[in-house]
Structure 1
């Protein structure tokens, strides 16, 4: 792999890790906390490893007690660096052999290798070993150690090594603890895992072939698609050069660190993908469309009773107008009857209208909740349950305050019942003027009838014209005309009142809808849109993590 190719690979991994960081940021409440914690740990480990020497490859020799791991470590390094023997465990602390010490210090510190257990291949000893330059070979404590401390150290380094070499022996190569605890968990890490069947000097060729075939079959069943198996005998040196060649190829590629992180990321991605719908990620716009906004506003208006309030206000407007624009004689007669509002039989609705000015408008919490729930259900079709619940929670995040806020908003726009339009007052003056003219006409007609027809007496000279019998037809016609004009005015005014009542209702309902829409936008739609944006960004990051 060229330097350019390696750089591109690291950049690609960096992009995926950045996307994973965004997933971790957006995932709380939607992703298993344990999985998020593991993702965070991977991000920390990847960040640390990528900042350390890219020219060194950390290879961990791992295995159980008696596998010959330490002997193989000494054989590969060509030095007696790690103690061997029959004690359990032989290796209590991790030993490291470094080919090319420059720049390896910070990496060894990160690996937490004690200074007294670090060994460097001096130039005099590196004759013929230049191909291993950049190798950091670790001899781990036995993973099945009876000492908890060394067991934990082995687990830690197996998780962070660039390449893991499992040293198995013919007797325990199928050991359940190794396969269950490690091999199965590292499935998918084929590129950064090597299996060494050691101590093959104990087997004849047929037994060796049978063991290798059985081991390969076992590994494939556990998810290792292309297992790399090397056979060695640390005691006789058989196969050690082959293992060195495999390690040299890995070191020369300078890709093991990135491949290990990619493998860890791929495995984590498969687990994260479980929260992705099986039939694909449904598209979700971060902005709620106008149709849904209108639908929510309509439903909340119904919950508050805006149509009923508007209708009642229209009726009250008409009844109140009778006190001002009706024919006065009719109003005077109406005073002898019960309250005209009672004649409408509005019942509780009338009380509600009267309550508007007192701020007593109330929304029905159950209906408000149903309206909000309907919006959330319409937006979450096909989503994963975690995100459906998230959007529902966002929609209902302020549901406890929503009815009260709606009531307060609508109380502010409720019209005053005692409000009188200016044209009503002008019309009242006009009608009383007609009443005066009608009364005057009746007085004139009576005077002319009494003095001009029946000769009741003689009027003063200045008033004699009112007593002439000849004026009776004209006075009668004028009186009837005034009466007709009054009735015509009353009819026309009722028509104008009807139009005005409808206009008043429309104005009231528009203002109420505007207020309800504003409350719905700030208390329901905005939280939902934020959650939808989070949903879209999360799955966009997930696609980037998948690569």
Structure 2
């Protein structure tokens, strides 16, 4: 095998490997018929490339009465295929082999029966060496009644390395041949030859006219540069010219690869037409940060992360009044039935009550909208099959996503009825100030009653509390206690709100982190796998083109 032929086979191997990848990636995206044909081509190519590269399979195909079998006998120099008036005369394919070494497995693959195999070199001493490596097949008539139930001709036309169409002057434009075969083999010029047989029945002028007409007809049907040979199997006219064409093909040892390349080219065009590459810029293996952040933001809104943070901050502010506020204000506030009324949060009120128990719930509709927005942004310009595939991947776990988000965030949502330890210390301090205030008021009352109004005399041990001179100092003490209590309440309130703000920021960051983790596992990763599949598919499609 020559270096050029080896390189050609390697190039074909790379294209077939790419086609194999398309078959793996295509289910659910590509027309099943195309995938089936691709799989069949892969099997056929694999089988043919494993078999003899030194033999070229040439199939003589034609309709009833074209003289195909007579031409087969004329080329082989033997009466191998039955001819006669009865039609069809060829019921099974016959094979004539020039050079038997290595041909057996190839003939087995072609399913040529043993009794229909003939060796040209062993039958005559003058075997033609220039045709060494040729396996010539005489196919059953493709338009016979038998052909309606026997697909042998169709099968061998599909697997032959070179197809020689034998046409007669009366039916060379026959619609069945052109519609079923010629148009399907457009693009196979390198491995297709057209023989206008029975040339002896026409005058030179008529023959030239028929050749020109056939040439125009073939070009209209997509055969860009048809090879047309005129022969007469009965007189031998043109047979040597046909042998020369066949000998050139056999000598190059490239027909098998060229046939597979032609089949692959045709299939590639159909794949490219069915699955056009829009060229839309799609990330190769990962979703960009902007889209990740956008999805996380949307899911945070769907699960109510901002509302949770705001609720925590507001509820902490209200609850702190019960512990660190001015006691007199707290006692007045206890007259109200529910401290949450002061928040004026409308519909959030019930949600905040739920949050007090540390639970979070995600809105399924909003979650679905966020996921759909991600997939829609990624699939702009894609083929519909891939758009649907990415949407399905994004929503593959959508049924469990809301509940998982809810469970995940409920683990970090704080219990808003908890009481920090420093609140309790402040409460003790405030009540101590209340006791001091009450003691001061009692002292003032005693001093007024006994020292100013002379209500009587106090026991010697308590006389100091009844002196009028103590009134200014006691009054100053009472005012100081009140001021200290008010200052403590204001300062504590500020510390509470500052701490609540910091806690809200910390909580929202943690919840966003968890939402991002869930989104990555349940939405991003399935979408990225589908995007990788999308890119691999079109990379393989470009590889098939060669």
TM bucket by the smaller chain? over 0.9
What CA distance in whole angstroms lies between the structure 2 residues aligned with 1:58 and 1:124? 19
2:241 is matched with which residue?
Answer: 242
Alignment check: 8 A CA contact 2:357 2:415 kept: no
The Cα of 1:124 is off from its aligned counterpart by 7.0
The Cα of 1:67 is off from its aligned counterpart by 0.6
Write out per-residue CA displacement over residues 33-77 of structure 1, whole angstroms, 9 at most, x where no aligned residue. Answer: 000000000000000000000110000000011111111101101
Alignment check: 8 A CA contact 2:133 2:250 kept: yes
Alignment check: 8 A CA contact 2:309 2:504 kept: yes
Write out per-residue CA displacement over residues 343-378 of structure 1, whole angstroms, 9 at most, x where no aligned residue. Answer: 333344222122236576432222222211111111
2:192 is matched with which residue?
Answer: 193
Alignment of 1:222-233 (within 5 A): 222-233=221-232
2:108 is matched with which residue?
Answer: 109
| Greater mean alpha carbon deviation, residues 385-394 or residues 255-264 | 385-394
Alignment check: 8 A CA contact 2:447 2:470 kept: yes
Write out per-residue CA displacement over residues 235-286 of structure 1, whole angstroms, 9 at most, x where no aligned residue. Answer: 1111111111111100010000000000000000000001444653544332
The Cα of 1:199 is off from its aligned counterpart by 0.6
The Cα of 1:21 is off from its aligned counterpart by 0.3
| Greater mean alpha carbon deviation, residues 233-242 or residues 347-356 | 347-356
The Cα of 1:505 is off from its aligned counterpart by 2.4
1:522 is matched with which residue?
Answer: 521
1:326 is matched with which residue?
Answer: 325
The Cα of 1:434 is off from its aligned counterpart by 1.3
What CA distance in whole angstroms lies between the structure 2 residues aligned with 1:54 and 1:372? 55
What CA distance in whole angstroms lies between the structure 1 residues aligned with 2:125 and 2:511? 87
1:533 is matched with which residue?
Answer: 532
Alignment of 1:83-122 (within 5 A): 83-122=82-121
Alignment check: 8 A CA contact 2:140 2:147 kept: no
| Greater mean alpha carbon deviation, residues 514-523 or residues 119-128 | 119-128
2:382 is matched with which residue?
Answer: 383
| Greater mean alpha carbon deviation, residues 64-73 or residues 452-461 | 452-461
| Greater mean alpha carbon deviation, residues 275-284 or residues 471-480 | 275-284
Alignment check: 8 A CA contact 2:356 2:417 kept: no
Alignment check: 8 A CA contact 2:186 2:223 kept: yes
The Cα of 1:151 is off from its aligned counterpart by 4.2
What CA distance in whole angstroms lies between the structure 1 residues aligned with 2:358 and 2:103? 76
2:12 is matched with which residue?
Answer: 13
Alignment of 1:73-472 (within 5 A): 73-123=72-122, 125=124, 127=126, 129-148=128-147, 151-277=150-276, 280=279, 282-356=281-355, 361-472=360-471
| Greater mean alpha carbon deviation, residues 350-359 or residues 24-33 | 350-359
Write out per-residue CA displacement over residues 405-434 of structure 1, whole angstroms, 9 at most, x where no aligned residue. Answer: 222223333221320112111111111111
Write out per-residue CA displacement over residues 63-122 of structure 1, whole angstroms, 9 at most, x where no aligned residue. Answer: 011111111101101111111101111001110000110110000000000000000123
| Greater mean alpha carbon deviation, residues 400-409 or residues 68-77 | 400-409
Gaps of 5+ in 2: none
What CA distance in whole angstroms lies between the structure 2 residues aligned with 1:202 and 1:326? 120
TM-score, scaled to structure 1 = 0.96
What CA distance in whole angstroms lies between the structure 2 residues aligned with 1:461 and 1:359? 61
What CA distance in whole angstroms lies between the structure 2 residues aligned with 1:200 and 1:34? 41
Alignment check: 8 A CA contact 1:141 1:150 kept: no
RMSD: 1.8
TM-score, scaled to structure 2 = 0.96
Alignment check: 8 A CA contact 1:93 1:140 kept: yes
Instruction: Name the SS for the 1:475 alignment partner.
Output: helix
Alignment check: 8 A CA contact 1:359 1:407 kept: no
Write out per-residue CA displacement over residues 320-346 of structure 1, whole angstroms, 9 at most, x where no aligned residue. Answer: 111100111111122223322123333
Alignment check: 8 A CA contact 1:143 1:150 kept: no
Alignment check: 8 A CA contact 1:141 1:153 kept: yes
The Cα of 1:123 is off from its aligned counterpart by 4.9
What CA distance in whole angstroms lies between the structure 1 residues aligned with 2:251 and 2:300? 72
Change over 3 Å in CA distance of 1:128–1:117 after alignment to 2: closer
Displacement over 6 Å in runs of 4+: none
What CA distance in whole angstroms lies between the structure 2 residues aligned with 1:353 and 1:513? 19
